[in-house]
Structures are given as C-alpha cells and as structure tokens.
Structure 1
Amino acid sequence: MAAWLQLLSLLGLLPGGAAAAAPPAPAWAPPAPELLEPARFALRMYNRGRAPGTWATLGAVRGRVRRAGLGSLYSLEATLQEPPCNDPTVCQLPLSKKTLLCSFEVLDELGKHMLLRRDCGPVDTKIEENTNETLNMVLPLANQHPLPKDFTDKMASIFKNFATTYNRTYATKEESNWRMSVFTNNMIRAQKIQSLDRGTAKYGVTKFSDLTEEEFRTIYLNPLLREDSGRKLRRAKMPNDPAPPDWDWRPKGAVTKVKDQGMCGSCWAFSVVGNVEGQWYLNQGSLLSLSEQELLDCDKVDKACMGGMPSNAYEAIRTLGGLETEEDYSYRGHMQACSYSVDKARVYINDSLELSQNERKLASWLSKNGPISVAINAFGMQFYRHGIAHPLRPLCSPWLIDHAVLLVGYGNRSSNPFWAIKNSWGTDWGEQGYYYLHRGSGACGVNMMATSAVVD
C-alpha cells in the first residue's frame, strides 16, 4: 500500500480503516419550546426524498436563536436516530443503526423556514459525514495534532507549489500556518472522495484548496436552491424522438467563453444568462456575451451574491425588458445600484419553461433546442480536477442542490456516459472551466431543476 493510503488507513478514512472509540451520545436538558418547530423542519429536510420506512427520527435538541429584522436565525444541535439499513449503496451510515449528531442553521422569515446549513455525523466516529451527504472530514489539523514528519514535509512542499501557482499570499505567519492546516485537511478529504467515486474523475489540488468547507460553501455556492422556492414555470412539451448518441453545442457556436463569478454566490445568474445566450443564438442567429451583473443589481426577488433561483431570474429579464451585453454592463461580483437601460438591451425573452426530469428526454431536448440551465449538488467540486464524476447517491443527494450550472452537451468516454457542464469558476478550474458528470443516474440531482428561456 502506498504511504499516502497507509496514512489514510491509519486515520480511519478508508473503508475498513481504524475507527475511533465511541464517545457517549450527549445528554441534554429538554429543549426550549421555540426550538422544536425549526428542529422538526430541519428533520423534514433531512428526510426529504427518502421512503417513509427509512426516515430518521428526532432525539435531543439544543440551540440558540438570534433575531434580525423580521427574521430569526436558529443555530441548533440535535441527535437523530437512523433506522436499520442493509444496502451499503444507499445507507446514510456504515452500520445498521446509529445515532447522528447534527448541526443545523434554520432561518425563519415571516413564518417561512429555510435551511441554510446542516452537518451531521455519527456520534461514534471521527469521520463526520455532512448531510449535504458529503464527507466532511473533521480531522486533526496539522498544527494541533502533529502528523508524521515525512508527510508534513511533503504537504509543505505541495502547499508551497499551490501558493505559487494560485498567487496566494497571507498577511501573517500564523495565517499561513492555518491555511496550510486547512490545505492538509482538504487533501485528505479529496483522497477520501477519490476513493469513493465510481467514475473517472480525479480530485486533488485546486484553487479552492486553502478554503474550509464552510468558507467554500458560503462564498461560492447557493443555498437558496435547496428550497426550490422560485416561481413555478410552465411545463415544456418534451420531444419523443430518441436523442443522438452525443451532442455538443460548443463547436456549434451556441456557447460563450467560460466566465468567473468570483467570490460571489451568483451561479444562478450565470446559469440563466448562459441559457439565454444559447437561446438567442439559436433563434436570432448571433452569439452575444450577456450581463450577469444586470441580474445581480436589478432582480429584486433574488439575493445577488447570497443566491437566487433561475425561475425568478427569467421573470426579472422579462419584466426588465431584456439583457444588456457584458461589454455594456460589466461584471463586478457584488451588488450595486441597478443601472439597466432599456435602450441598451440587446436580447429579450418571451417566456421560460420547466423541463422533464427524464435524462433521455433532456438529452433530446438539448440536442434540438440548446443549452439547459440546471442545478446540482456540488459535492466534491471543490477538489475536482478532470474526468467524469460519479459519486455514490447518498454522498451527492439530489435533494440538497446548491449550485446552478449550464448543460452544453453530452456523450461517452470509454463507455462512461456524461453530461458536459459549463461552470462559472473560471478556466483555471476543472477541465478548462468545465465539469463532467455521470449521465443517466440522476447524479447529484442534475435532472431535478432543468429550465430554459423561450425566445420567439
């Protein structure tokens, strides 16, 4: 066994690796009554998409509440009991019955709940599994629990190369040491994700490797997508014809260059704008790079860098009267005053549609009608380098969608069917800015929120 894998095995991060001694489940006082309703809401979201016989049940609850304007933010800790599970491909936990310890953040605005964060892990293991069904490795950081010297020397060299490649500088020596600890922890997480992927994807060092999972999620992802609270769209009439064996709109001229949303959760705007760019090209004959910043500034339903819903964005474009070009209304990566001018609008849309969740029909629609706005669970994408990602379904739940992207094509690589996905994290991420995800299994919820504008 390679030294890298031996270390992972010692840390209990490989299947069959060493397990930690089980700490006792917490014993808490009865919860304050006001915590019960948000805790029950968090439980419902945790159980979403699961058959009734497989639901977890709520145990002890504790937490605090913070008031802000018309809303309340609940920070909760709760124990959940998972029922027995004998199928390792769908089990939430590695053994038949476990107690989970979960952290939830629930926002209550005018009586409507929204789950902003949830992290759950078995009470009796050092491996804490995020209920984004990701593997959130709560491992000892290098500056707290020293690791073998040859390993730390190797990581120091890799971290130095990372900092040079991505032009990272840190204000103090303490911050640099902390970021190296985060980086080391992330490399172990990436190796665990690699070991469980069923596709050809490779995970490792990326430009996000010095960010904690919480930082990455807060800065680059979109928690509003999990609630699916956008405007309801008219259902599209899907084609019955079989899809061609492969298709790619990039060489056909319907896709603009990969863009970069920066440190802003504006993926929803990039996904929708990419779709509108393709629809305009296919129906009006010209490919224009359009303005995402216009949506950040002028869509008053969505929340700019705090996230948004594609269905709302289509309506904002229609209500405003169109989109300006990127050149006329350039991207700034933060919300500013709306400066949209109807005189400068170059593109309009007439309507928007919700597409089928059947992936064969999605492929057929894409080949006939252009790129599709979709939303996915971004599990593993922080460390994705190249190849076709195919996470186990419990690790990349379709019910925990948090990132909007653009389907531009599909095909097969060595008998591995894939969706070709345009992302908005720049060309220095993934395969020149693109992500490839397994097609045909509903991987990471890619089929759950497919939409398109209509241009007549």
Structure 2
Amino acid sequence: MASLTLSKSLFLYFFSFSMICLSFSSPREFSILNYNDDLDKFTSEEELFELFQVWQRNHERLYETLDEMLKRFEIFKNNVKYVKEENAKRTSDYDYRLGLDQFSDLTLEEFKETYLFDMDPIVRSSIGEPDSDYCPNAPQSLDWRDFGAVTDVKNQKQCGSCWAFSSTGAIEGINKIANNTLVSVSEQQLVSCDPNSYGCSGGQAFFAFEYVIKNGGIASEEDYPYEAINGTCDHEKKKIALTIDGYGNVTSLSEQSLFCAVSRQPVSVYIYATTQDFQFYKGGLFDGSSCTNVSHWNTTHAMLIVGYDSFGDGLDYWIVKNSWGKDWGDNGYIYIKRNTGDPYGVCNFNCYAYYPTKNILELDSAI
C-alpha cells in the first residue's frame, strides 16, 4: 500500500474529520447530483476524499477493511479524473456527458465481471411474424412511455441478469399494446427457471421468450419478486400474469427494420457496453466513440428500446431503458445515436434485437 498517496494515518484523519462535517450537513447540500454538476471544483486530495465519503453515504457503500477502503478511494479518484477529462472534450450540448454513479469505485474490469457478459454470436430464427423494413405509417418520433407501455426503471443489482430485464420489458410492452394492461412481470422467474440461459451469468432474450411460450406465460413481479440471485425455480410462484404467442428477431444490420419494429412495440436489444463511457454515462447523445475498435458482432449487455426521436437537424437517437436503477444514466435511460451510416450501429447496436408477439391485428405501426 506504499504506492497510495494517502498514508493510513492521514486517511483516518480525513475520514474522522469528514464524517463530523457530513453529520452536520443536509442531504441536499451533499447531493451527488450537485457534485456531478461541478466536479472540476474537487481537485485536492482532501476535497476528493470528502467527495468519496459523500458518494459512499449516498450509495450505502461500506468496506470491510481500511485497506479495501484505500483501494476503492484510489479507483474512485482515477474514475473522477477520467470523467473530468472526457467531459472537457465536449463541444456541444448534445454531446454525451459522464458523471459519478453507483459504479464509481469499480475498475472497468470489475464492472464487466459483475454486470456484463460476452454474448454468443447467434441470430435466432423467429417464431411468429416475419421481420419487415416497411412501415410507411410509422411516426417520425415515438416514446412508448407516453402510451403507458413501459414500467418504471428497475435495478438488476449485482447479478448479470440484464437479458431478463430486457425480455420482461418487451413482454410488458406488447401486452400493454395488445390488451391495454401494464403489468410488471418477474425477472426472477426467468433467472431461476429458464433452462437455456445462465441466470446471473447471462442469457438470451429469445431463450427467455421461448421459455415463456412453453410455460404458458410468466408470473408478475409481485407474485415472484426479484432477489438478484440464481435461486431455484419456485413452481408455487408461477401464477400466470401475462402471455406471449411468439417472437421475432430484427434483421441484423438493418436499422430500418429496427426502426419499424420499435414503431410497433418496445424491443429487446444488445450492445457492446464494456467501456468507461458507458459505465459512467449521465446524459446526452451517446455516439459510440469509445468503442470504435470493438470487433463487429461483439455485444456485452441487453437493454430495451422504448422509442426514438431527434435532437435538431440530423441528430437522430434511440430512447433506451436500462436495468441499473435511476442513478445510472439519465434517470435510468440512455439516448443512443441512430442513422450513423454504420450498418452495425453504435457499439454494435444493430446486430441483435428481438421482440415478443401477440396474436393481434397486424398494422404498419401499433399507434
């Protein structure tokens, strides 16, 4: 630990002093959101340590040993430095910005090990309606949240179950569109019961859809609550709340097909997310500049597309719901640039996308 800037004794001094200060401060005064607005003012070791303590309190982060705290503080400082440096490169209000979040004491490798996984390059055949890139009646902008087809942002916690949250979001959305009923369904059932996926170690949306079809439906979140563990499939909790009749996969590398699919319903999608820019994303138009050297077809995270829109002239974007809680991103969402001219899309966003189907009247667009 000799390489650390702070000695343990000095660290303990700062710790004791800062905790006294924090005990007399209001939560508003020490909001992490306020710090993100002006991180540049934290420059000295003492100021960074105070920031670290406030961040710990906001995220209820406790460490078992002083050595572990020192290690996490060093990682935290490096991450703050990275966030500052990247934000300084912004040239437009539309450029994406970074900030502190619940992952700020993790290295990129640690972040990947817990929250991301390498997806096998599989394009699955559809069960149901064929994919189409023809949707002349699709609106120029759309947000399925405005139609009540999107549940609140959820949190997968320390379990690599993004695939389950992406899948349930798509199931919730199509059932709201088809039946006018929005029900939050169980990610835990997929994590514990889907025999073809790997629970907290990753999975596939199409396997999740196949499981729901074969099972005759999926339970509600209320009946089968999320535990963030692999667990054992509990057949007593499998009361059916929603069903699907089939699923489709969007034609790979066809952004128009993806556009048409999203014009009909929320869509499960995969992306390469193993970058610090994704780890600390806080808002703005994410353009994938941090993953330009990533191999084609390589994806590590699943999310849910809930709409699309544009920032001014030619700045088209997808509205994407994540499953890392509201502290990540823009209240749990990320805006990903579309129509970039790259067939693979931003960070391979156009490679894999899936959607569940219901036996309802087929329209060019669901609205």
Q: TM-score range by the shorter chain?
A: 0.7 to 0.9
1:142 CA drift (Å): 4.7
Among 406, 412, 430, the alignment partner of 2:304 is 406
Which residue type is aligned with residue 436 of structure 1?
Y
Change (3 A) 1:338 1:200: same
Which residue type is aligned with residue 408 of structure 1?
V
Q: How does 1:52-451 map to 2 (within 5 A)?
A: 142=5, 151-194=44-87, 200-223=95-118, 225=119, 227-229=120-122, 231-233=124-126, 235-241=130-136, 243-340=138-235, 344-356=239-251, 357-367=253-263, 369-378=264-273, 379=275, 380-392=277-289, 394-395=292-293, 398-415=296-313, 416-441=315-340, 442-451=345-354
SS in 2 for 1:305: coil
SS in 1 for 2:153: coil
Distance 1:451 1:242 in 2: 21
1:249 CA drift (Å): 0.4
Which residue type is aligned with residue 56 of structure 2?
A
Which residue type is aligned with residue 301 of structure 1?
N
Give the corresponding residue for 1:453: 356
Change (3 A) 1:244 1:166: same
Q: In the alignment, is the contact (CA less than 8 A) between 1:255 and 1:408 conserved in 2?
A: yes
Q: In the alignment, is the contact (CA less than 8 A) between 1:203 and 1:383 conserved in 2?
A: yes
SS in 1 for 2:328: coil
1:170 CA drift (Å): 1.8
Q: In the alignment, is the contact (CA less than 8 A) between 1:396 and 1:443 conserved in 2?
A: no
Greater percentage in helix: 2
SS in 1 for 2:339: coil
Which residue type is aligned with residue 183 of structure 2?
L
1:179 CA drift (Å): 0.5
Distance 2:113 2:238 in 1: 36
SS in 2 for 1:306: coil
Aligned length in residues: 310
Change (3 A) 1:298 1:281: same
Moved more, 194-203 or 168-177: 194-203
Pick 1 or 2: higher relative contact order, CA cutoff 8 A, min separation 6: 2
Q: TM-score by structure 2 length?
A: 0.78
Q: Where does the alignment leave 5 or more consecutive residues of structure 2 unmatched?
A: 8-41, 360-367
Q: TM-score by structure 1 length?
A: 0.63
Greater percentage in strand: 1
Q: In the alignment, is the contact (CA less than 8 A) between 1:182 and 1:212 conserved in 2?
A: yes
Moved more, 247-256 or 432-441: 432-441
Change (3 A) 1:387 1:340: farther
Change (3 A) 1:253 1:150: closer
Which residue type is aligned with residue 430 of structure 1?
G
SS in 2 for 1:157: helix
Distance 2:216 2:205 in 1: 17
